Amino acid sequence: MPPNRRRITSSSERERKMGQIKRIHEMLVNKEISCVELTKKYLEAIENSNKELNAYITVTPEVALAQAAKVDEKLAAGETIGLLEGVPMTLKDNISTKGIETTCASKILTGYKPIYDATVYELLQKEGVVMLGKTNMDEFAMGSSCETSYYGGAKNPHSLDHVAGGSSGGVASAVGGNLAVYGLGSDTGGSIRQPASFCGIVGLKPTYGAVSRYGLIAYASSFDQIGPITHDVEDAAIVFDAIAKYDERDSTSRGSEPALPTLDNDIRGKKIGIANQYLDGVREDVKEAVLQAAKVYEDMGAEIVYFDLPELKFALPVYYILAMAEASSNLGRYDGIRYGYKAEHYNGTHDMICRTRSEGFGKEVQRRILMGTYVLSAGYYDAYYKKAVNLRGAIVEAFDRAFMNVDVILAPTAPVTAFKSGYLFGEETDQLEQYLSDICTVPVNTAGLPAVSVPCGVDREGLPIGMQLIGKKFDEKTILNLAYRYEQAEHKTIETKWGVKL
Amino acid sequence: MVTREDIENIALLSKLFVDEKDLDSLTEEMQKIVSFADTINSVEVKSGDFDNINNLSNAFRKDEVKESYPVGEILKNAPEQAEDHFLVRKRA
Which is higher by pLDDT, A37 or B55? A37
**Is B68 within the bounds of a domain?**
no
Q: How far apart are CA A233 and CA A202, in angstroms?
A: 6
Helices (H), A303-407: 315-330, 349-360, 363-376, 387-402
**Is B16 within the bounds of a domain?**
yes
CATH number for position A209:
3.90.1300.10
User: Which residues on adjacent β-strands are paired with residue A470?
Assistant: A409, A451
What element of type H or E holds A306? Answer: strand A303-307
Lowest mean pLDDT among A109-123, A186-200, A355-369, A383-397: A383-397
Nearest alpha carbon to residue A478 among A295, A186, A332, A271 = A271
**Is B10 within the bounds of a domain?**
yes
Q: B37–A115: do the CB atoms touch at under 8 Å?
A: no
pLDDT the model gives residue A16: 83
Q: Residues A385, A359: contact at Cβ < 8 Å?
A: no
Chain A residues whose CB is inside 8 A of the B16 CB are: 354, 357-358, 361, 366, 369-370
**Is B29 within the bounds of a domain?**
yes
If one counts every other C-beta atom within 10 angstroms of the C-beta of residue A26, the result is: 11
Chain B residues whose CB is inside 8 A of the A448 CB are: 53-54
What element of type H or E holds A485? Answer: helix A476-490
Work out how many domains chain B is built from and give that number.
1
Q: If you average pLDDT over residues A340-368, what whole number do you get?
A: 96
Q: If you average pLDDT over residues A100-108, what whole number do you get?
A: 98
**Is A315 within the bounds of a domain?**
no
pLDDT the model gives residue A493: 85
Q: A432–B33: do the CB atoms touch at under 8 Å?
A: yes
What element of type H or E holds A73? Answer: helix A61-76
Question: Which of A34, A49, A92, A155 does the annotation list as catalytic?
Answer: A92
| CA end-to-end distance (rounded Å), chain B | 39
**Is A440 within the bounds of a domain?**
yes
Quote the minimal CA–CA distance from A352 to chain B in Å. 8
SS3 call for A68: helix
Q: B80–A342: do the CB atoms touch at under 8 Å?
A: yes
Q: B36–A366: do the CB atoms touch at under 8 Å?
A: no
E strand spans, A17-135: 56-59, 88-92, 130-135
Nearest alpha carbon to residue A17 among A497, A392, A500, A491 = A491
Expressed as residue numbers, the domain containing B26 is 4-42
Nearest alpha carbon to residue A383 among B42, B2, B56 = B42
pLDDT the model gives residue A494: 86
Q: Residues A134, A96: contact at Cβ < 8 Å?
A: no
**Is B88 within the bounds of a domain?**
no
* A442-458 confidence digits (pLDDT tens): 999 999 999 999 999 99
**Is A302 within the bounds of a domain?**
no
Lowest mean pLDDT among A15-19, A71-75, B77-81: A15-19
Q: If you average pLDDT over residues A195-214, what whole number do you get?
A: 98
Chain B residues whose CB is inside 8 A of the A447 CB are: 53
Q: Residues B40, A388: contact at Cβ < 8 Å?
A: yes
Nearest chain B alpha carbon to A390: B50
Q: Is A490 exposed, middle or buried (0-12, 13-18, 19+ CB in 10 A)?
A: middle
Nearest alpha carbon to residue A384 among B36, B32, B3 = B36
- Is A149 among the residues known to form the active site? no
- Is A168 among the residues known to form the active site? no
Helices (H), A255-301: 284-299
Quote the minimal CA–CA distance from B33 to chain A in Å. 7
Q: Which of A334, A374, A392, A431 is best to mutate for the B interface (most B CBs within 10 A)? A: A374
- Phi, then psi, of A92 in degrees rounded to 5: -60, 145
Q: How far apart are CA A246 and CA A224, in angstroms?
A: 16
The half-sphere exposure of A183 on its side-chain side, counting CA atoms within 13 A, is: 36
Quote the minimal CA–CA distance from B12 to chain A in Å. 9
Q: A115–B73: do the CB atoms touch at under 8 Å?
A: yes
- Is A167 among the residues known to form the active site? yes
Question: Which of A96, A149, A191, A197 does the annotation list as catalytic?
Answer: A191
- pLDDT(A434) > 80: no
**Is B53 within the bounds of a domain?**
no
Lowest mean pLDDT among A158-167, A363-372, B26-35: B26-35
| % of residues, chain A, pLDDT over 90 | 91
Chain B residues whose CB is inside 8 A of the A314 CB are: 39-40, 43
Peptide bond into A167 cis (omega under 30): yes
Work out how many domains chain A is built from and give that number.
1
**Is B21 within the bounds of a domain?**
yes
**Is B22 within the bounds of a domain?**
yes
Q: Which of A96, A98, A115 is best to mutate for the B interface (most B CBs within 10 A)? A: A115
**Is A292 within the bounds of a domain?**
no
pLDDT the model gives residue B27: 92
Chain A residues whose CB is inside 8 A of the B9 CB are: 377
Q: If you average pLDDT over residues A346-372, what whole number do you get?
A: 96
Q: B76–A342: do the CB atoms touch at under 8 Å?
A: no
Quote the minimal CA–CA distance from A162 to chain B in Å. 26
Nearest chain B alpha carbon to A435: B33
Q: Residues A353, A335: contact at Cβ < 8 Å?
A: yes
Q: B29–A318: do the CB atoms touch at under 8 Å?
A: no
Chain B residues whose CB is inside 8 A of the A251 CB are: 58-61
pLDDT the model gives residue A11: 44
Chain A residues whose CB is inside 8 A of the B61 CB are: 248-249, 251
- Model confidence at B42, pLDDT cuts 50, 70, 90, reads confident
Give the angle A82-A87-A262 at the CA atoms, nearest 5°. Answer: 55
- Phi, then psi, of A449 in degrees rounded to 5: -90, 160
**Is A305 within the bounds of a domain?**
no
**Is A351 within the bounds of a domain?**
no
Nearest chain B alpha carbon to A331: B14
Expressed as residue numbers, the domain containing A75 is 21-271+413-490
